[in-house]
Structure 1
Amino acid sequence: MHMDDCNTDRQKPLQVDLNCDMGEGFGAYAFGHDEELLPLITSANLACGFHAGDPSVMRLTVRLCLEAGVAIGAHPGLPDRQGFGRRVMAMKAEEIYDCTLYQIAALEGFVRAAGGRLQHVKPHGALYHMANSSRDAALAIIRAVADLDDRLYLYAQSGSLLIQLAEQRGLRTVAEAFADRRYHADGTLMPRHLPGAAELSEEEAAAQALRLVQEGAVQAASGEVVPVRADTICIHGDSGTAVRTAQAVRQALEANNINVCSPHRND
């Protein structure tokens, strides 16, 4: 079961969600451009304290999201603050389940206390990629989401193992594509360490986002045009050009009569 349309009338304009990772500071350390990005996106993925964030940052970022009218999602990662959750760890399925459930539930507590509602879950970094290659990891994440609240949306990479298994389980899924990352010809993301993988200009990111929504496709680094379903488009908030990229993407979508909205608009 994939993301419900923001509008139920199929004749109405195309629509897409824009999401961004947020709440990644901790203690005395600020990180990212959260307040500048919030007016430009429709869904936010909040770090839950393992790879980044802390309880105070979670509480404050929840408040900022609610004030901005941005839907809130949990962004659980591996317990690897030093590596920012981007290093693969050898973990048993039960450990992945426990870590994922713990983090989602912690953020949901802050959201409920502030009078809001948690919309979705999107795994972070290495956990996201582990779930695309390991059935056990994917099923552990799916079970954690379903056990806490099976009404939550699960954001997962378009065409991935995680999204396939989640749909088989009956979870509501949102297929994610990326405006600011290059793709391989098989539809997978180029790893960050490869030259040019994350070096798109604002204009290139806007054009890629537009093509994803209008054509359901992306041009791979090798030149092939690859089909990619895009219910939501991610813009990474940890680069120096994040705000300009988000502005360019949002302007391009709206200039082409594409409705930018979060999945929960139809609930």
Structure 2
Amino acid sequence: MKLNADLGEGQHWDNRNIAHTLAPYIEIANISCNQHAGDEDHIKETIEICLNHGVAIGAHPSYEDRKNFGRISHTLSKEELRAILLRQWDWLSKLVSSFGGELTYFKAHGALYNDMTSNPEIFSVVQETIDEISKDLIHICSPFSSTKSEKVLKEGFIDRLYLPNGRLTPRSRPNAVHDDIDKVLQQIQSLKKNKVLTEDGSEIQLFVETLCLHGDNELLVENIRLIKETINEN
């Protein structure tokens, strides 16, 4: 199962770009388009590190809201949403091309990702925009997203607590993010079997094809080798 990570958001580890630590262990890097976090120099460095490690690169667009790290919903018209997606895609695509690479994945960030999952109209605008960019572009999204596209990877989160309905527990609630590596490893093992333990202790089915590692979660970064070993276990 492929491991993807959200990068280019300004994080560092051991006084270096966090991509140095994570790139050897991931298959896909979802790189910030500079509208929720990061800066151009950091993003360029992230791109170069990932390409040097053979990591596939995807765009990680968001609502244009650096103040809230892209984690607050915004009301946009279809035209406005399409415009910000294309603008962010074009910006990152040019940077990646300057290093001899190309964007092959697309994964929305934060509130936009969640809004797409709960609102089919928003998802439709995003998917139509992706198809406009390229029919071959692979869309990483929630298992609950309303899509018939074959170019989709359903995603599970290794550090987030799930609700009994399969949605993510809001970050505003206690224990929404796992702070115990044993819980993370147990969740990886469950997700590999297409199931997950939820907030009320019940176990539900959840079909996923890729696992997400949040680059801003230090627990995951310091245990990246153990996480990768657990993913690769038969």
TM-score (norm 1): 0.82
Q: Which amino acid aligns with 1:82?
A: K
Deviations 1:102-139 (A, max 9, x none): 11122122222211121200000011111112222111
| 1: CA distance, partners of 2:16 / 2:37 | 10
Q: Which amino acid aligns with 1:130?
A: D
1:121–1:155 CA contact under 8 A, matched in 2 = yes
Structure 2 equivalent of residue 158 of structure 1: 143
Q: Which amino acid aligns with 1:231?
A: E
Change (3 A) 1:122 1:31: farther
Q: 2:60 aligns with which of 57, 67, 75?
A: 75
Q: Which one scores higher on RCO, CA 8 angstroms, separation ≥ 6?
A: 1
Residue ranges of structure 1 left out of the alignment (5+ in a row): 1-15, 258-267
1:197 CA displacement: 1.0
Cα RMSD between the aligned structures?
Answer: 1.8
Q: 1:184 aligns with which of 159, 163, 171?
A: 163
Question: What is the aligned length?
Answer: 231
1:145 CA displacement: 0.8
Q: Which amino acid aligns with 2:204?
A: V
Identity over the aligned pairs, expressed in percent? 31
1:159–1:228 CA contact under 8 A, matched in 2 = no
Q: Which amino acid aligns with 1:174?
A: L
Change (3 A) 1:91 1:222: same
| 1: CA distance, partners of 2:171 / 2:8 | 22
Q: Establish whether residue 209 from structure 1 lines up as the match of residue 188 from structure 2.
A: yes
SS state at 1:45 partner? strand
1:177–1:234 CA contact under 8 A, matched in 2 = yes
Q: Which moved more, 1:179-188 or 1:245-254?
A: 245-254
Structure 1 equivalent of residue 72 of structure 2: 87
| 1: CA distance, partners of 2:179 / 2:197 | 13
SS state at 2:214 partner? coil
| 2: CA distance, partners of 1:31 / 1:67 | 16
Structure 2 equivalent of residue 260 of structure 1: none
| 2: CA distance, partners of 1:226 / 1:245 | 26
TM-score (norm 2): 0.93
Residue ranges of structure 2 left out of the alignment (5+ in a row): none
Q: Which amino acid aligns with 1:196?
A: N
| 2: CA distance, partners of 1:171 / 1:219 | 28
| 1: CA distance, partners of 2:181 / 2:3 | 15
Taking the TM superposition and a 5 Å limit, the aligned residue runs for 1:21-170 are 21-25=6-10, 33-160=18-145, 164-165=146-147, 167=148, 170=149
1:90 CA displacement: 1.3
| 1: CA distance, partners of 2:173 / 2:2 | 28
